[in-house]
Amino acid sequence: MTLMQKGMEFVMLAGLLLAVQPVAAQDATAADHATVQRCLEEKVAANEERERCVGVIADPCLEKSEDPSTFGMADCSRREYAVWDERLNSTYRKLMKDIDAKQQRDLRDLQRAWIAFSDRKCGLYRVMQPEGSIVIPIAAYCTMQEVGRQATFLETMLEEGDSR
């Protein structure tokens, strides 16, 4: 591979990595937050798994397909990611306040392990499909799913701790 080809490969990889980066939590709309909250309340009332709410924004957005480009598809996941990421971080902070030092270390270790796992899991799509732009929405959806699942897990832990 020539130096020029390596340079182009680096530029393409850098662009791809930037493309799958999630949006900031402030980009989630009030309606997006309300949609997730309403779904969670419905699942809890029906004694169903909260995790079933993961995809509540992204899936209908993808089905509508207003922007069928790969970046448009990724934006559907990024919108929902923003809500789950905010919930995850808020719940993590609440949990850390309510537990002792050993439990804090354990929770911090768990989060670090989960972050590493999630990054590797969703990053595998970029390794397995290095060619083509379809990896952009696939990796974005994976990241949204992982953050949503972890957020619901931590929210359950927080509530179970409150009920003791």
Q: pTM of the entire structure?
A: 0.81
CB contact at 8 A, 140 and 61: no
The pLDDT of residue 19 is 40
pLDDT per residue as tens digits for the range 12-50: 333 333 344 444 444 789 999 999 999 999 999 999 999
What is the full DSSP assignment across 8-72?
Answer: HHHHHHHHHHHHTSPPPGGGS-HHHHHHHHHHHHHHHHTT--GGGGTTTTHHHHHHH-SS-SHHH
The pLDDT of residue 11 is 31
Angle between helices 135-162 and 101-128 (to 10 degrees): 160
Measure the CA–CA gap between 91 and 14, rounded to whole angstroms. Answer: 32
Q: Which CATH class is domain 53-164?
A: mainly alpha
The pLDDT of residue 162 is 61
The pLDDT of residue 141 is 96
Dihedral angle of Cα 135, 152, 80, 37, to the nearest 10 degrees: 160
How would you write the pLDDT of the chain (164 residues) with one tens digit per residue? 444 343 334 333 333 333 444 444 447 899 999 999 999 999 999 999 999 999 999 999 999 877 788 889 999 999 999 999 999 999 999 999 999 999 999 999 999 999 999 999 999 988 888 777 889 999 999 999 999 999 999 999 999 876 44
The pLDDT of residue 163 is 44
Measure the CA–CA gap between 74 and 21, rounded to whole angstroms. Answer: 10
